[in-house]
Amino acid sequence: MPRILILLALLPLPVMAADGAPGISAGTYIQATLALLLIVGLLLGATWAARKVSGGRMFGQGNLRVISGVALGPKERIVLVEVADSWLVVGIVPGQIRTLHTLPKGESAPTLESTTPAFGEWLKAIRERKNDAP
């Protein structure tokens, strides 16, 4: 008997609003909520199945990892990729990927000290010049 009541609650029955116009029944809201929960459940199930198929690893991980990258233009990039025990400097342009250089893992190129001041220092110098001006 309780199952029949639940099924009846799921049926969209016409409900009249206070002004006499047809409204939306509570069953319609329940159906929409259950459909949304079903879709979310399917998405979570697909994610779980994808993890099981990939052996528990997330996608894109393993022996290949992107260390850093820099954009040279709207479609051109240089990327540092770690592969097993080496780093590859890779140039990427539309339709082509090319290895530019190979480095041993962990060895990073020396960083060049910037001769331009940091933004905060630059702003402070501008303020001081503005205050010193007559």
Residue 117 lies in a domain: no
49 & 68 share domain: no
Q: What is the pTM of this model?
A: 0.38
The pLDDT value recorded for residue 80 is 87
DSSP assignment of 37-88, as one string?
Answer: HHHHHHHHHHHHHHHHHTTTPPTT-SSEEEEEEEESSSS-EEEEEEETTEEE
The pLDDT value recorded for residue 43 is 96
Q: What is the DSSP letter of 110?
A: P
Q: Smallest Cα–Cα separation from 78: which of 91, 68, 64, 97?
A: 91
Neighbour-count burial for 111-125, b at 16+ CB within 10 Å, e otherwise: eeeeeeeeeeeeeee
Say how far apart CA 10 and CA 93 lie, in whole Å: 55
Helix axes 2-10, 26-53, angle to 10 degrees: 100
42 & 78 share domain: no
User: How many distinct structural domains can be found in the chain?
Assistant: 2
The pLDDT value recorded for residue 36 is 95
Residue 115 lies in a domain: no
Q: Which domain does 81 fall in, by range?
A: 64-104
Residue 16 lies in a domain: yes
Mean pLDDT per block of 10 residues along the chain (134 residues) reads: 57 57 78 95 92 64 79 89 86 92 70 62 82 70
Evaluate whether 87 touches 105 at the Cβ level (below 8 Å): yes
